[in-house]
Amino acid sequence: MGVAIVLALVVIGSVVFHFLSPWWWTPIASNWGYIDDTMIITFWITGAVFTAVVLFMAYCVFRFRHREGRRAAYEPENKRLEWWLAIGTGIGVAAMLAPGLVVWHRFVTVPKDATVAEIVGQQWQWAYRLPGADGHIGATDIALVTADNPLGIDPKDPRGQDDIVIQGDQLHLQLGKPVKLLLRSLDVVHDFYVPEFRAKMDMIPGTVTYYWLTPTRAGTFEALCSELCSTGHTFMRGGVVVEPESQYRDWLQQQKTFAQLQSPARTQAKNQE
């Protein structure tokens, strides 16, 4: 009886903690409310299964407890029960996967009117690149990374000369404007994550991953690395500022292009020669 009561209390305590927990999601600041919906569906399905299984265990512990003169019945298999468990498990798994697949399709299907912003992760800092007046970002190569060209932008690609390069500062995004985020790492696996955006993806060395979002709330948001990337992982933080178009344009005009950042370096090299 005692074990059965403890199991029942575990279920009751878990359900109460779920509804009264002070640790909950931050207010959403992008279009990805689909992520919250998918998580809630998963919680309901897994919560129902957890409750049913533990309460069934409590029932079995009480119903089939040891009594003098009674012996357990040996039943090595039960085809009917096995079919019900297989079908029920399949339905439950499909119910959890289906919403995620729908959201994933939307996650990587970028609107045609989306702008582009590149996020580059490196132990243990963030850098950003935005397209210039031509609306395109130039090619990059990890072999071109130097102290004067920390993002490895190809200087021979004319599309990269007007790219906006941002280091040691926050990334600014336009309020209500879809943006495709290109994710790139220069060393190990990182993951650019703004909790309020509900969107993130691993940054894999040697490839470019991406997703898109539409910022829906103005403000300044903290960006974290949510993939363990060695000793400085906890200090790999940045910021994203979401602001109206007029303020965004004012900020953008104050930033320097790749060509402008290269000019002082080239002048200094010529003077040393």
Q: How many CB atoms sit inside 10 A of residue 257's CB? A: 17
Tell me if the bond preceding 44 is cis, omega within 30° of 0: no
Q: Are 208 and 184 in contact (CB under 8 A)?
A: yes
Name which of 64, 72, 53 is nearest 10 in CA terms.
53
What is the C-alpha separation between 156 and 135, in angstroms, rounded?
17
**pTM across the whole model:** 0.79
Q: Residue 174: which pLDDT band, with cuts at 50, 70 and 90?
A: very high
Q: Residue 242: which pLDDT band, with cuts at 50, 70 and 90?
A: very high
Structure-block tokens of residue 117: 């912003």
The alpha carbon dihedral of 24, 235, 118, 261 has a sign of positive
**What is the fold of 115-272?**
Immunoglobulin-like (2.60.40)
Q: Residue 31: which pLDDT band, with cuts at 50, 70 and 90?
A: very high
